[in-house]
Structure 1
């Protein structure tokens, strides 16, 4: 007997959604049910499977070994099912739903979209700025713009640009910086108390990141950039996100040198899905825009 005959697809969808999104509440919102109803659905499915998929902890559901294996396989399977459904219902070929991180959307992408619209007036772009990782082909989006290593099962990831970081600050603050050690005498801006990128940038200059002084902390990278523009301190910024402020002279790079983060920007679509013609046009335009931005960066 095929195991699928005894396990409802809704139960498998519930397991996949929680495994992919990492929380019961996020999965319930995506599936349009209450967290309580989703929890009951998962419990019934586990009973039908004959063993648990999640461990119950004080902080919520946590995948066990079986759940981790099932989650990866279910995500690939759901992507294939979604792609099959799209073959019969192609939808609007002139509309692209694009999932993108809010900061990248507001600091870089939104200012360049009019150029795409002018070049392709028949294509409409609908941006969905969300911080969580959205899966094309499952979450109702055609394209995901992601930062990472490109190793997402069941998805087609095309590299757009390597991600690098460098310290930036207001021009008035840069006047006090002549060598890497000078950075340690100025406030260092933090996003969520983190000092991401500083160790990688400072180490080649012979400076220990543990000597970094205190500085203002913000919960959003955009606020960190604004604080840097206003002269409140130095921020280790992504090249793309700081590029426009640098070109306008609001920010400067007080010292040369960029550090690789090991991550890249990726153009992500559902593997095997029917490709709208607009997807390739948007990808090519995006790659060209990023390349033009990179050409303007100081070496």
Structure 2
């Protein structure tokens, strides 16, 4: 009540904000003054003005209220699901098939995914944790390396027999996303020593890597995809890798979160699980 009364310079205005009577505010202030042994307010006209002791006490009272509000906000936020931002392609091809293991191991911690191409808004409190594909330097945020990948052509088993040589790519549509982190058909063909065939190739560009893989699974072309996204499909025999050459992208996958997050314990739980899943893929 002291801080509210000081802000308004009025017991009646403080009472209105706090939904109590003016007498209750006055009594609480008198009790505080009695316990401190000094006056905090003096009446001036129709209002109440802080004494020198009151002015000295006010910043500490406001700081205490702010700390309490942050603590209550943390308790409220910690009660809900942990919000995880992730690229749609990584969510669909790598994370979703593994989530049942997380649910079995941590039944009391709900994980809610936010698939998006946009960077997560940590400042606005939209997410608690993100998997970002980049260089790992994010101002004001903590980041830890999760996994790396490579990029190479993949196709359906039905098309694999038609790809005996790199030059055979001329006869099939080449599926790729926009060039990012150095991953492009032009760079892969240059790496394999066949950049001269690029002008004769038909390229289909899609914004979503998962959509490109769906096209290739349907036998509609050859995709230049990332190892993280196609590892399960290769193990299952649903896709084939016709050529050995592979690009090393300039970027890697990082786990990112606010160092002052109210959910550091839950973030650590999810981080440890994600790192274990990534480690199993490398073994």
Q: TM-score, normalised by structure 2?
A: 0.67
SS at match of 1:98: strand
| Equivalent residue number for residue 142 of structure 1 | 128
Kindly tell me: are residues 205 and 217 of structure 1, through their superposed partners in 2, closer, same or farther at Cα, counting changes over 3 Å? closer
Contact 2:88 2:208 in 1 (8 A): no
Give distance in 2, aligned partners of 1:108 and 1:223: 14
Shift of 1:85: 7.0
Kindly tell me: are residues 86 and 237 of structure 1, through their superposed partners in 2, closer, same or farther at Cα, counting changes over 3 Å? farther
Deviations 1:72-127 (A, max 9, x none): xxxxxxxxxxx997555222257311111122112221111110111111111011
Indicate whether 1:208 and 2:192 are aligned. Answer: no
SS at match of 1:260: coil
Deviations 1:14-61 (A, max 9, x none): xxxxxxxxxxxxxxxxxxxxxxxxxxxxxxxxxxxxxxxxxxxxxxxx
Kindly tell me: are residues 262 and 217 of structure 1, through their superposed partners in 2, closer, same or farther at Cα, counting changes over 3 Å? closer
The residue correspondences of 1:73-84 to structure 2 (distance < 5 A) are none
SS at match of 2:151: strand
SS at match of 1:97: strand
Give distance in 1, aligned partners of 2:160 and 2:274: 32
Match of 2:226 among 221, 224, 238: 238
Indicate whether 1:120 and 2:136 are aligned. Answer: no
Q: Highest Rg: 1 or 2?
A: 2
| Equivalent residue number for residue 110 of structure 1 | 96
The residue correspondences of 1:274-289 to structure 2 (distance < 5 A) are 274-289=262-277
Give distance in 1, aligned partners of 2:119 and 2:68: 22
SS at match of 1:89: helix
The residue correspondences of 1:190-269 to structure 2 (distance < 5 A) are 190-191=176-177, 196-208=183-195, 210-211=198-199, 213-269=201-257
| Equivalent residue number for residue 20 of structure 1 | none
SS at match of 1:188: strand
Contact 1:93 1:277 in 2 (8 A): no
SS at match of 2:242: coil
Aligned residues: 213
Question: Higher mean Cα deviation, 207-216 or 225-234?
Answer: 207-216
Kindly tell me: are residues 92 and 164 of structure 1, through their superposed partners in 2, closer, same or farther at Cα, counting changes over 3 Å? same
| Equivalent residue number for residue 27 of structure 1 | none
CA RMSD in angstroms comes to 2.6
Kindly tell me: are residues 193 and 157 of structure 1, through their superposed partners in 2, closer, same or farther at Cα, counting changes over 3 Å? closer
Kindly tell me: are residues 95 and 174 of structure 1, through their superposed partners in 2, closer, same or farther at Cα, counting changes over 3 Å? same
Deviations 1:174-208 (A, max 9, x none): 11222333323322123369994223322232111
Give distance in 2, aligned partners of 1:85 and 1:239: 46
Kindly tell me: are residues 125 and 93 of structure 1, through their superposed partners in 2, closer, same or farther at Cα, counting changes over 3 Å? same
| Equivalent residue number for residue 176 of structure 1 | 162
Kindly tell me: are residues 263 and 87 of structure 1, through their superposed partners in 2, closer, same or farther at Cα, counting changes over 3 Å? farther
Give distance in 2, aligned partners of 1:185 and 1:193: 22
